[in-house]
Amino acid sequence: MTIRLDARLVPIYQDVLHRNPGEIEFHQAVLEVLESLGPVLTKYPEFADKKIIQRICEPERQIIFRVPWRDDAGEIHINRAFRVEFNSALGPYKGGMRFHPSVYLGIVKFLGFEQIFKNSLTGMPIGGGKGGSDFDPKGKSDDEVERFCQSLMLEMYRHLGEHTDVPAGDIGVGGREIGYMFGQYKRITNRYESGVLTGKGTDWGGSLARKEATGYGLIFFTQEMLKAQNDSLEGKKVVISGSGNVAIYAIEKAQQLGAIVIACSDSGGFIVDENGIDLTTVKRLKEQERRRIKDYTEYHTTARYVSDSSIWSIPCEIALPCATQNELTAEDATMLVNSGCIIVAEGANMPTTAEGIQVFQQAKLRYAPGKAANAGGVATSALEMQQNASRDSWSTEYTQSRLEEIMVGIHKSCFDTAKEYGDEGNYVLGANIAGFIRVARAMSAMGLI
Ligand code: GLU
């Protein structure tokens, strides 16, 4: 892979490599942003003088702690948990918690770093943070998940606050886990501090449309990308990886807008249903019964299940990776380009490898990075915080219209910024520069902190 780094940024990147050994996902996320920032330093030399980039690459605070808990058989387990409070120039640290066995500091830092620019792009008053644990919720009973969440919060609560750090969900953390964490926070602090967590139940301070927001927002963004090329979603063949919260609501909105979603997946494999995926079955399997996507074929005999090849081998016009980091390789990207794909927009965080991105960019396919395309989730979290602060709750229609407005705004700022910097259609450049400048200006105004 060719590294395209401005000479002024090489020592900064080398320093990141040196100080964060082995954290390969973090290195990848930093490099992707730094590759866009050369022209920004030329335009704003004061950012270089104030070492804004070096400061942004170093988290303000990193918390690592032990989470002991007991399983249903009485055996003790020890997990490790993290909260990386990356940047608070624009507002309280904001970003989800991920529970997955792959979680280690390098994953939390890549996610936290991305979150800074994503949150900035929303235009809302939220800083960047992220957390998680190597706890694996798969196969755990409800009681075990509850005990784990309570134990985790018994340490994490002291670092949180509606004006300090506001976690939410991510992979492995949904409404159930947020409920257990909120209950424990409320009990320890003796405060009903609604705005300390987002993704809450809609009966107790959660926002309508938050659950749907990342997936819906991704489709609103995709629609804008198509509009910019005088095209629309109507009749388009779409492949969406994953079958979690992001994928499910991306499928829902894509179908509402006339697209035909023909495939989705989980960590075991993928299903293809040329008639269009029946979302009711996917929701029942995944949201209610916590089963495998493979079981879809029990209910739809026209569909097939594939576990020995990549979902990106299925020809489509629009590809929306909504599963996890580095799920789409250069080989996958080449297959997509060759089969006539015109748009890739990321619902997951960093699902395309650095080599995969280069394939898309060389082919001049329109490719939108997650920090822009999936920002609808965190943006609606900020709307939840707004409702909590005013002790109000908004209708689904109003909240969704705010979400759509925000996604249209993010698309516009990415598109216009890429054009301004001489590379129209380069959403990576547009997102990185527009996201960076807002944070850099705030840091610059606040002095050396
Ligand atoms: N985990 C989501 C993300 O990657 C949402 C974070 C939030 O709502 O705070 O942006």
Catalytic-labelled residue, pool 94, 109, 130, 140: 130
Q: Quick: pLDDT tens for 413-441.
A: 999 999 999 999 999 999 999 999 999 99
Helix (H, G, I), strand (E, B) or coil at 123: coil
**Alpha-carbon distance 224 to 409, whole Å?**
10
Q: Quick: pLDDT tens for 76-107.
A: 999 999 999 999 999 999 999 999 999 999 99
The CATH homologous superfamily of the domain defined by 211-364: NAD(P)-binding Rossmann-like Domain (3.40.50.720)
Q: Which atom of ligand 1 is nearest to the CA of 94?
A: 9
- Phi, psi at residue 152, to the nearest 5°? -60, -45
The stretch 179-203 carries a mean pLDDT of 98
Name the residue at shortest CA distance from atom 5 of ligand 1: 378
Structure token digits, residue 399: 């909240």
Pocket residue to mutate for ligand 1, from 381, 388, 410, most atoms within 8 A of Cβ? 381
Average model confidence (pLDDT) for the chain? 98
**Which residue, 415, 419, 380, 434, is CA-closest to 225?**
415
Fold of domain 61-192? Rossmann fold (3.40.50)
Tell me which H or E stretch contains 26: helix 24-34
Confidence (pLDDT) at 273: 97
Name the residue at shortest CA distance from atom 10 of ligand 1: 378
Answer whether 435's CB lies under 8 Å from 121's CB.
yes
| DSSP code for 235 | T
Q: Quick: pLDDT tens for 113-160.
A: 999 999 999 999 999 999 999 999 999 999 999 999 999 999 999 999
Q: Is the pLDDT of residue 328 over 70?
A: yes
377 lines ligand 1 (CB under 6 A): yes
96 lines ligand 1 (CB under 6 A): yes
Q: Is the pLDDT of residue 45 over 90?
A: yes
Q: Is the pLDDT of residue 2 over 80?
A: no
User: Taking the mean position of all CA atoms in its chain, how far away is CA 103?
Assistant: 15
Helix (H, G, I), strand (E, B) or coil at 435: helix
% of the chain with per-residue pLDDT over 90 = 99
Using pLDDT thresholds of 50, 70 and 90, give the confidence band for residue 187. very high
381 lines ligand 1 (CB under 6 A): yes
Strand 61-70 vs strand 343-345: parallel, antiparallel, or unpaired?
A: unpaired
Confidence (pLDDT) at 295: 97
Using pLDDT thresholds of 50, 70 and 90, give the confidence band for residue 1. low
% of the chain with per-residue pLDDT over 70 = 100
| DSSP code for 328 | B
**pTM for this entry:** 0.98
Return the domain boundaries, the chain.
61-192, 211-364
Confidence (pLDDT) at 4: 86
Pocket residue to mutate for ligand 1, from 85, 115, 166, 383, most atoms within 8 A of Cβ? 115
User: Taking the mean position of all CA atoms in its chain, how far away is CA 443?
Assistant: 24
**Alpha-carbon distance 172 to 189, whole Å?**
25
Q: Quick: pLDDT tens for 338-365.
A: 999 999 999 999 999 999 999 999 999 9
Helix (H, G, I), strand (E, B) or coil at 319: strand
The stretch 303-330 carries a mean pLDDT of 98
Distance 275 CA to ligand 1 centre (A): 32
**Alpha-carbon distance 29 to 351, whole Å?**
11
**Alpha-carbon distance 290 to 286, whole Å?**
5
Q: Quick: pLDDT tens for 51-83.
A: 999 999 999 999 999 999 999 999 999 999 999
400 lines ligand 1 (CB under 6 A): no
Q: Is the pLDDT of residue 175 over 80?
A: yes
Using pLDDT thresholds of 50, 70 and 90, give the confidence band for residue 3. confident
Please check whether the two domains, 61-192 and 211-364, share a CATH topology.
yes
Pocket residue to mutate for ligand 1, from 349, 378, 383, 406, most atoms within 8 A of Cβ? 378
The answer to whether residue 138 is catalytic is no
